Chains A and B, each alone.
Chain A
Amino acid sequence: MEGLAETTIDYMLKLGAEFADLRLEVSTGTNIVIMDGKTKTLTAQQESGCGIRAFAGGAWGFSSTNSPTISSLKAAASSAVKMAKVAKARAKHSFKIIGAPAVRKSEEYKCRQKPTDVPIEEKLVFALQQDKSMRALDPRITSTNSRYDDLEVDRIVANSFGTLARTRERWVLGACSAYARSEGVLQRGHASVGSVGGYELMNTEGAVQLGAEAAAQALRLLDSKPVPAGKFTCILDSKMTGMMAHEAFGHACEADAILAGASVLEGRLGSKVADEGITLVDDPTMKNKFGYFSLDWEGVKAKKHVLIERGILKEFLHNLESSGRMGVKPNGSCRSQGYNSPPIIRMSNTYIGPGDWGKDELIEELKHGLLIQGSQYGYVEPAKGQFMFKCDEAYEVKNGEVKQRYRDASLSGVILEVLNNVRGIGNDFLLGDPGYCGKNGQSARTTDGGPHICVADMVVGGLA
């Protein structure tokens, strides 16, 4: 495979590419879905292909093929160079890709039990047991989903700076959803675990308890009420703090949004953008976490990024292009969903660092507000400067006491205001659930987290 990659890069340079790179991948994966005690689908996936990029002037050409043979690669390479030249002819801005040190490395991420060595029957037993554990917990659990996923990818990244890096990565994920019904009320609970690594994760307590956790949440929510709408001071748990770090700030720190003129953080590097207690980090080097990688999809060594340090905006997330155009070193933040998608700037493991308040102290100090727990999803438009995220559970807090349980609250905020409205940062810390971040039609495995955190003036969407 390495020879194929280098031959293709050389070929593109001969065709006139100023810079060229490729991602040659072979992957295999498993997906098991159990619904209500029966297998819904058992899926095996086999993929192989190559995504090829050529750069000319101020524009890129990208092409991909599902057939990693020399003739197909050359055809795709020709197409990429042709696309780059066509795009260059109409580009208004001209720039270069600044040379980066060549990386020549072969690495296999640590894994005790390769998923490909585990028989499908064993994976099936795991998923069936989780499904059963949900229904066994309480007769009010009326419907259940249990899921198991694994993927093994062998990826070669090569470029015309001399990089030839091979990475073999594996990740696994388990997830459960439970539906509880009582007196006409239907509620859903969910739980998931995931890591870059092997099947050993499925033998951990967190994985074995997935079904019980999801079912317990669904049952808890049966007596919840719709949350009241309006402006509240909110205490976010670790999962929601992580979601806020990711949505409210992480996306606006992606340098492609800056170059596109579509981030409210443009021109604010070195400025105060948050309370001085806030340090916000994106760190792909946290081993085994769901957002882990050691080399990015351009072959650049991954590193920890301190995006905000004590309230000051310090760094953006870069790929080779943005780092060159903005005059900084590449920091290894480029990823693609698969060989057939062009690599773009992505987050990895994103979190806010801990402070010095106890969780109970944060609650005791809150006169009137909400305690927000568990995250469902979130999104942001960095150009509008607005974001939202949705929680699993919320609780009324009155005079320092936790009261009525609410469900399904959506929280919204303004990027340039929210981290200045922080009223207290907890001394606890948890990196939350595995998730997939969507951007430009691609998804990337990520995780996020932080401490409990108290934020004023959040607008809560509710029915009451």
Chain B
Amino acid sequence: MADMIQLAERTVKYAVKLGASCCDVLVTESRYSSAEIEKGSMKQANSVLDPGVAIRAFKNGCSGFSSCTGHDSHAIKIAAELAVSLAKSGTPDPDFKDLPGSARPSKVGGLCDKRIAELQPADIVAMAIELSDIAGDDKRITSVNANVSVGETGLALANSNGFSSSQTLSFCEMGAESVARSGAAMFSGFDAGSSRKLEKSMIAEVGRNSLEHAILGLRQTKIQTGDYPVVVDPLAAGFVLSMAIGGGVNAESIQRKRSYLVGKLGAKLGPASLTVYDDPGIEWATGSYSFDGEGTPSRLTPIIEKGVLKSYLYDSYTAGKDSVPSTGSSSRGGAIWSFRGPPSISSSNLVVKKGDLSLAEMIEETRRGVYLRLTYDYPNLATGEFSGLMMESYTIRHGELGPSIRQATMGIGLLDLLKRVDMIGKKSRDAFGVRTPALRISSAKIGGSS
């Protein structure tokens, strides 16, 4: 790692010598391995080595970025020259103030599990097979497709303000899709998990969830168009909230007036039971880091406190423009940092504070409604509206989970979505960068095919 730090520092000096007014350099050394199962059979094992260097240079506030693969000094010099040349070519930007100073990174535990680097290909293959076997353990399952990925990135970041540090980040991710058939009915269940830690218990949990939902979905029904209460599974809540809140509070979107949350700071957005914060310091969570993509120490940022919008997420540029401190939200990628693009603002681990209801209690109290487990639709952050397919959803009748719903959509304004959260579950899980329990929305428009 010392070599990588020195390489980053040397490159910063070179870029400054070339005329950059300020500069940061990221040096990464990533290696990851994965195993893929196709239709219950081991199909492919992968091993990737991916070292690289990213150089961001500024001149008159304009940013030039260049990257190169490998750590070859000649290629890095060319990349530095390109970055500085590009910075000189662009338009001046007086809104850019400065890069972060030389603060000490925060102490964050659980960033790297050394056992991951020690895994042999046969270990990863064995994990994928175990996952597949669990996900296929029912005679109605006709196919299981699954994958396990593990890896580690060593990275060094230096800038022209004297910041220079390193961290090592590991990850373990897996996903399974079980396909079930019964007569003419066909359905697939999906589940996934991720952590910076090698968690063997994840295999059983992901496999069981995938299997259970494939079978659950075989019994199918249609639904009439109307307004229904919706119990949102953490998997669907994570996908929607990562954009609705994580994207909505992006300070760049706010400053450019592109977000539905413009002007809402201090406003009551939801019930007193709704608290959301961004925390890059959670042990073993895949969004955690000790310093962000620009070198700002990681810190917890309250976003919604007891229903009230408290803060946006800032990097150094947007913080300088608003004359506030950066929230350390500059991202170079998710679990594994990449040298391939410039940093941008992102939530790290978005956390929705737990409530006190079990999922069963939320379904029971709903009596008649809809349980949404999975959607892959993005909200429109400009209009503040969400409309999308309920890829996996179930009816709730008489307080019990009913058949899965075919071809149905959900529509709701994002401010209404937050305002109408009236039940919050007590068990959280990590999904799409969000640690969230199940939520109940008191009413949303469901488009049905019945």
Contacts and interface: CB of A to CB of B under 8 A. Distances in A.
Contact of A143 (B225, B256, B341, B391): B256
A91 B39 CA distance: 11
B182 interface: no
A107 to B, nearest CB: 24
B26 to A, nearest CB: 14
Nearest to A92: B41
Task: Name the residue among B52, B68, B407, B447 with the largest chain A CB count within 10 angstroms.
Answer: B447
Contacts of A61: 44-47
A463 B121 contact: no
Interface residues of A, number: 88
B103 interface: no
Interface stretch (A16-24, A233-241, A295-303, A380-388): A380-388
B418 interface: no
A461 interface: yes
Contacts of B409: 229, 388, 410, 412, 459-462
Interface string A37-69: 111111111111100000000111111111100
Contacts of A340: 48, 50
B378 A377 contact: yes
Contacts of A187: 382-383
B179 A262 contact: yes
A274 B264 CA distance: 49
A48 B69 CA distance: 6
A38 B89 contact: no
Given A143-B258, A388-B389, A461-B388, A412 B143 contact: no
B387 A60 contact: no
Given A63-B48, A83-B45, A410 B179 contact: no
B448 A383 contact: no
Nearest to B78: A46
A414 B406 CA distance: 8
A186 interface: yes
A8 to B, nearest CB: 15
A363 interface: no
Interface in B433-450: 445-449
A331 B63 CA distance: 44
Contacts of A89: 122
Contacts of A256: 38
Interface stretch (B80-88, B162-170, B271-279, B361-369): B80-88
Interface string B345-383: 000000000000000000000000000000011101011
A267 B142 CA distance: 14
B387 A227 contact: yes
Interface string A300-342: 0000000000000000000000000000000000000000101
Interface in A221-246: 226-227, 229-231
Contacts of B45: 59-62, 83-84, 86-87
B44 A59 contact: yes
Contacts of A342: 44, 46
A463 B385 contact: yes
Contact of A120 (B47, B51, B89, B445): B89
A58 B45 CA distance: 12
Given A38-B91, A186-B383, A408-B383, A63 B408 contact: no
Nearest to A227: B387
A133 to B, nearest CB: 16
Nearest to A224: B383
B91 to A, nearest CB: 5
Interface string B137-156: 00000110100000000000
B247 interface: no
B44 A386 contact: no
A220 to B, nearest CB: 14
A446 to B, nearest CB: 18
B202 interface: no
Given A63-B47, A64-B48, A231-B448, A410 B387 contact: yes
List the 3 closest A-B pairs by CB distance, nearest first: A461-B409, A261-B143, A39-B90
Interface of A: 35-49, 58-67, 76, 79-80, 82-84, 86-93, 120-121, 124, 128, 142-143, 179, 181, 185-188, 226-227, 229-231, 256, 259-262, 264, 340, 342, 377, 379, 381, 383-388, 390, 407-410, 412-414, 457, 459-464
21 contacts: A35-B256, A38-B91, A39-B63, A40-B63, A42-B65, A61-B47, A86-B121, A87-B43, A91-B41, A120-B89, A186-B260, A226-B411, A229-B411, A229-B445, A230-B225, A231-B448, A408-B385, A410-B411, A412-B408, A459-B447, A461-B389
Interface of B: 35, 38-52, 62-70, 72, 75, 78-79, 82-83, 85-87, 89-93, 95, 121-122, 125-126, 129, 142-143, 145, 177, 179, 186-188, 217, 225, 256-258, 260, 340-342, 376-378, 380, 382-383, 385, 387-389, 391-392, 406-413, 445-449
Given A42-B63, A87-B35, A409-B387, 4 more contacts: A89-B122, A260-B143, A384-B188, A462-B411
